Structure 1
């Protein structure tokens, strides 16, 4: 059975980013924080619907006493729809697959609006519920109570487009190849148009003796490392780079995402790349600059 995508708000401020609750959280500025691999079952997002599901949330609606003093922002909603469309596309879905059975707001799920009676109705009062959860019932103050339908329409429109929106602009350009020192040996890297160094994930992992497995179906790299604590950095690679994204996640448990990279073609086939400095920061590797040098991992 295909997974169901559930859409939430966090009832917090715009900068609330915490792992363990949702697979993705979109900040108020529209930045997508990819916290857990999509295959991980998170147990605290949608009551009795946590298995075989994906949870995305907008960090908003935390105003006190009026939650609408921090409503979903236009960039948040746009990024939410783009992220759902990207996930759906990676699963082989098309616009016709975006239905209330496959993509639901928490308001709709709480009220069993998909026709599956999973629990008592704890959704919006206007749907006969107790009013405990009404996430994305409305997308703006005093707006119509069809937020789920509006979002599905926007997601379907993105899937109907001939080209994903994130790829309409030219992808981030790479301007040259150089080498840096990594653990006392040279490693070939590429420099992007912003002057950042990118390395092949496989080369960096091998240099630090980190065991990894490429999951082609989910387009991710799985790492077997018990001493890595993801930082969920704010500057993680975003879809705006214009390249297909690749996740690096820890194996097992809730499969927390360590960092996000990109997939680029080569003569050897598609290869996964990541920012060298971001890799070092996530894996606790000592760094010096001018020139850039990566040393040893802290504690190992």
Structure 2
């Protein structure tokens, strides 16, 4: 059976980010916080729909007593559609495959609107349900009751290579981050080749950094991720995690566990012109995630003390 993408809101403030509930949470500013690998099953996002599925959620609708005092922002809706399209693209789906059977809001799933009767109707009361879940029934207060249809249309448009209908919601197209020069720094007492980007940030090959600190890892090409076997790493879920806007294809590091929590995201780029793409990550972020001591002026990585 084909996997399903479920679209949610968290009924919280815009800044709410917690692991274990959804694969990704999109905060009010439109930043996507990848919390778990999309290949992992999470236990409790959509009743009887938690297996073979991906859950994307907007941090919003937490106003009290009126949830609409914290509505979905245009940036969140744009990021939600882009992330859903990215997931669909990774599964080789075409625009025509974005249907209510494959991409559903929680309101639609709760009401069995895809035609599969998996449980009693706990969806919106306007669809005969108990009203427990009505995520994305509407995209704005007083709006039409077709939030799912609107979102699927936008996702199909993205997969078809078309620009989004609402120009005011679209974020500017950015050029890929530029890498200015090669350099060498010290890591655990040995030279490490790095690249310096246009912002002065150091990037290293993930494979070199992992090998230098003897961190067990395995490249999962089908999901563009590195699986980490270390038991002493606690992901920090940074607010400045790399986004698609960096302009390079992304990869992620995730722990080898049932829920595959994401440690960090990096980019895929060639080491030199004409060479195959390799996985690069920000050196300082790598150090902070893996408990490696750092010295500045000059910038160097010291010993690993654990995550």
TM-score w.r.t. length of structure 2 = 0.95
Kept in 1: contact 2:68–2:141 (CA 8 A): yes
Equivalent-residue separation in structure 1 for 2:115 and 2:172 (angstroms): 36
Compute the displacement of 1:82 (Å): 0.6
- Quick check: 1:245 aligned with 2:254? no
Equivalent-residue separation in structure 2 for 1:220 and 1:118 (angstroms): 33
Equivalent-residue separation in structure 2 for 1:163 and 1:249 (angstroms): 32
Equivalent-residue separation in structure 1 for 2:12 and 2:138 (angstroms): 17
Equivalent-residue separation in structure 2 for 1:174 and 1:277 (angstroms): 16
Kept in 2: contact 1:167–1:243 (CA 8 A): no
Equivalent-residue separation in structure 1 for 2:243 and 2:297 (angstroms): 27
Where do residues 73-152 of structure 1 align in structure 2 (5 Å cutoff)?
73-152=73-152
Bigger CA drift: 168-177 or 231-240?
168-177
Equivalent-residue separation in structure 2 for 1:162 and 1:82 (angstroms): 12
Compute the displacement of 1:166 (Å): 9.0
Aligned counterpart, 1:276:
283
- Quick check: 1:215 aligned with 2:213? no
Kept in 1: contact 2:233–2:306 (CA 8 A): no
Equivalent-residue separation in structure 2 for 1:201 and 1:167 (angstroms): 29
Aligned counterpart, 2:167:
none
Aligned counterpart, 2:70:
70
CA-based RMSD of the aligned residues comes to 1.6
Compute the displacement of 1:299 (Å): 4.3
Q: In the TM superposition, what whole-angstrom CA distance separates every residue of 1:28-54 from its partner, at most 9, and x where no partner exists?
A: 000000000011110110001000000
Where do residues 197-208 of structure 1 align in structure 2 (5 Å cutoff)?
197-208=202-213
Aligned counterpart, 2:230:
225
* Change in 2 beyond 3 A, CA 1:285/1:24: same
Aligned counterpart, 1:264:
269
Kept in 2: contact 1:167–1:242 (CA 8 A): no
Compute the displacement of 1:163 (Å): 9.2
Q: Stretches of 4+ moved more than 6 A in 1?
A: 162-167
2:222 alignment partner, SS class: coil
Kept in 2: contact 1:41–1:50 (CA 8 A): yes
- Number of corresponding residues: 300
Q: In the TM superposition, what whole-angstrom CA distance separates every residue of 1:205-263 from its partner, at most 9, and x where no partner exists?
A: 00010111111111111010111000101111111101111010001221000000011
Q: In the TM superposition, what whole-angstrom CA distance separates every residue of 1:88-147 from its partner, at most 9, and x where no partner exists?
A: 111111110110011000000000000011100000000000000000000000000000
Compute the displacement of 1:2 (Å): 2.2
Compute the displacement of 1:265 (Å): 2.8
Uncovered stretches (5+) of structure 1, i.e. residues with no partner: none
Compute the displacement of 1:188 (Å): 0.4
- Quick check: 1:291 aligned with 2:301? no
Kept in 1: contact 2:292–2:306 (CA 8 A): no
Kept in 1: contact 2:252–2:264 (CA 8 A): yes
Kept in 1: contact 2:292–2:304 (CA 8 A): yes
Match of 2:240 among 218, 235, 242: 235
Aligned counterpart, 2:4:
4
Kept in 2: contact 1:28–1:75 (CA 8 A): yes
1:157 alignment partner, SS class: helix
TM-score w.r.t. length of structure 1 = 0.97
Q: In the TM superposition, what whole-angstrom CA distance separates every residue of 1:268-300 from its partner, at most 9, and x where no partner exists?
A: 422011100110111111111111110111149
Uncovered stretches (5+) of structure 2, i.e. residues with no partner: 165-169
Kept in 2: contact 1:37–1:254 (CA 8 A): yes
Aligned counterpart, 2:29:
29
Equivalent-residue separation in structure 1 for 2:257 and 2:276 (angstroms): 28
Aligned counterpart, 1:174:
179
